[in-house]
Amino acid sequence: MKIFLHLIKDGLGAALIGGKRYHFWMGALTLLMLFGAFCYSVQLQEGLAVTGMSDRVSWGLYISNFTFLVGVAAAAVMLVLPTYVLKDTDFSRAVLIGEGLAVAALVMCLAFVVVDLGGPARAWHLIPVIGTFNWPNSMLAWDVLVLNGYLFINITIPMYILYTRYRGKTPDKRIYIPGVLISVFWAVGIHMVTAFLYAGLPARPFWNNALLGPRFLASAFAAGPALIILVLEVIRKYTEYSIADTTIRKISMVVTVAAQINLIMLFSELFKEFYFPTHHSSSAVYLYFGLDGKNALTPWVYTALVLNIVGTGILTLNSLRKNFKWLSLACILLFIGIWIDKGMGLIIPGFIPGPWGKVVEYAPSWVEIGVTLGVWAMGCFVFTVLVKAAIPIETGKMRYKGS
């Protein structure tokens, strides 16, 4: 226990040390978090009326980001699986980063759910045993379970590994491998459950399709590792933590395959919606062409489409993928493309047109954008602190010195 406290102290100490750039980064994040907190206080005071949401479009930017980030969190498994199970050492240096990313993404997910609640003070009703938990009926109850479970797993495994390393020992495989195996299935689980949250609603034909779950996985396994590649590039540029080229190459293969599958599924969806458009295609029509002269999402979705196609194209070409500049560009394109596609491009058109055909558009308010930025800043902050603390332990610079 004492050693653990020391680990926390040393870790936080490590997070406080850094260059000018680092302090500027953390300072900016703190400012954004404060701004987000202010916006949230406005929302708490006035109610969700200060957001752009309405009875017509009752989920907006918050739930869009939540959906996207569940995917990012799930993607950590792409690194975990080969490292621990297939004993592919190439990934081992990236895996802690991936898990840190998962933790940060999950923290953001939970934060986005909380800020979306009308009565956050009553959120304790969601706690099993103390509240009433509508399990197994409600997919949201499932989501609460799997997200928190995944967060727990992704905190304990790296914590155990770091803790043993900190003490100068080697982590015992018999202890962490079962946990890793669980987390592999769990990662797929969190994303499928989140997809089912939407796919299970016959009221919203745009979501109510069997492809939603698989597409969630494909897009997650493109966007998540794409982000990891970008993060690894930053880390190896600015810290002494070395990451081999082959690691990034391998991850880029994961991104490539996932992005290709994602595109195939997207075209399959588009075919179904537009070959013979029915009443159930109205949302897709709104998204891609606009309805009743309202087309706020159209430019977004075409941007996403172009970004996805170009990004996947770059990755598919061997010569470009092997060039780190092109690779980074492709990763940025894909990340943004999927963020639009899976967030705004999925959640909002699900509500348009409404059950009785009403087309009311949605645009986030400044309060909503502020809170969203704040939550993202919090995620980045958490991730930076985790990575800052983990790197010296991994590199062996930080060890328990005894009392």
Partner 1 sequence: MENSKNQAHSCGGQCSCGSKKDGVNQVFEKKSDRRGMLKQLGLGFFTAAAAVNSSCSVTSGEDSKAKADMNWEEYFKGNYKLMSKEERLETIGRLERLYEVNNGTKINVSSKDAHQDVLYGYAFNISKCQGYMDCINACVQENNQDRSSEMQYIRIHEHQNGQMNFENADDNFFHEVPASGHFYMGTQCYHCENPPCVEVCPVEATWKEKDGIVVIDYDWCIGCRYCMAACPYDGRRFNWNEPQVPEQEVNKDQHYLGNRLRKKGVMEKCTFCVQRSRSGKNPACVEACPTGARIFGNLLDPESEIRWVLENKKVFRLKEDLGTEPKFWYFMD
Partner 2 sequence: MVCLILVLAACGHHEDAHLSVPQKLKKEANQPVKYTVDVEDQLAGIKKVLVQLGDSLEDFYVPARTTQLKSFPCSNCHTDTGLKPTGKPEKAHWDVHLEHASIQTMECQTCHDVSNPEQLLSITGKAISLDHSYQLCGQCHSEQIKDWKGGAHGKRKAGWAPPRVVNTCVECHNPHKPAFEPRWPARLNTQSLKQDKE
In whole angstroms, what is the distance from residue 49 CA to residue 44 CA? 10
Of positions 50, 181, 230, 360, contacts partner 2 by CB under 8 A: 360
**Which residue, 90 or 361, is less far from partner 2 as judged by CB?**
361
Q: Residue 211: what are its φ and ψ, rounded to 5°?
A: -80, -15
Span near partner 2 by CB under 8 A; candidates 96-104, 246-254, 304-312, 355-363: 355-363
In whole angstroms, what is the distance from residue 327 CA to residue 182 CA? 31
> Number of C-alpha atoms within 13 angstroms, CB side, residue 369?
5
Partner in contact with 351, chosen from partner 2, partner 1, none, beta carbon below 5 to 8 Å by kind: partner 1
Residue 54 as a binder of partner 2 (CB under 8 A): the answer is: yes
In whole angstroms, what is the distance from residue 208 CA to residue 203 CA? 8
Residue 56 as a binder of partner 2 (CB under 8 A): the answer is: yes
- 107-136 mask for partner 1 (x: CB under 8 A)? ------x--xxxxxxxxxxx--xxxxxx--
Measured from the CB of residue 363, what is the shortest distance to partner 2 in angstroms?
A: 9
Q: How far is CA 215 from CA 161, 188, 219, 335, in A?
A: 33, 12, 6, 15
Residue 59 as a binder of partner 2 (CB under 8 A): the answer is: no
Of positions 4, 17, 27, 46, contacts partner 1 by CB under 8 A: 46
> Number of C-alpha atoms within 13 angstroms, CB side, residue 283?
22
In whole angstroms, what is the distance from residue 89 CA to residue 69 CA? 27
Q: State the number of binding residues for partner 2 (CB under 8 A).
A: 5
**Which residue, 15 or 141, is less far from partner 1 as judged by CB?**
141
Measured from the CB of residue 362, what is the shortest distance to partner 2 in angstroms?
A: 10
Measured from the CB of residue 322, what is the shortest distance to partner 1 in angstroms?
A: 44
Residue 295 as a binder of partner 2 (CB under 8 A): the answer is: no
Q: How far is CA 318 from CA 138, 207, 326, in A?
A: 45, 35, 11
3 state SS for 151-215: HHHHHHHHHHHHHHHHCCCCCCHHHHHHHHHHHHHHHHHHHHHHHHHHHCCCCCCCCCCCCHHHH
**Which residue, 10 or 361, is less far from partner 2 as judged by CB?**
361
Partner in contact with 354, chosen from partner 2, partner 1, none, beta carbon below 5 to 8 Å by kind: partner 1
Given the structure tokens 């598919």, which residue do they identify? 316
Measured from the CB of residue 301, what is the shortest distance to partner 1 in angstroms?
A: 20
Counting every residue, how long is the chain? 403
Given the structure tokens 């029915």, which residue do they identify? 278
Q: Which stretches of the chain bind partner 1, using CB under 8 A?
A: 46-49, 51, 53-55, 58-59, 113, 116-126, 129-134, 137-141, 144, 197, 200-204, 282, 350-351, 353-358
Interface contacts to partner 2, rule CB under 8 A: 54, 56, 358, 360-361
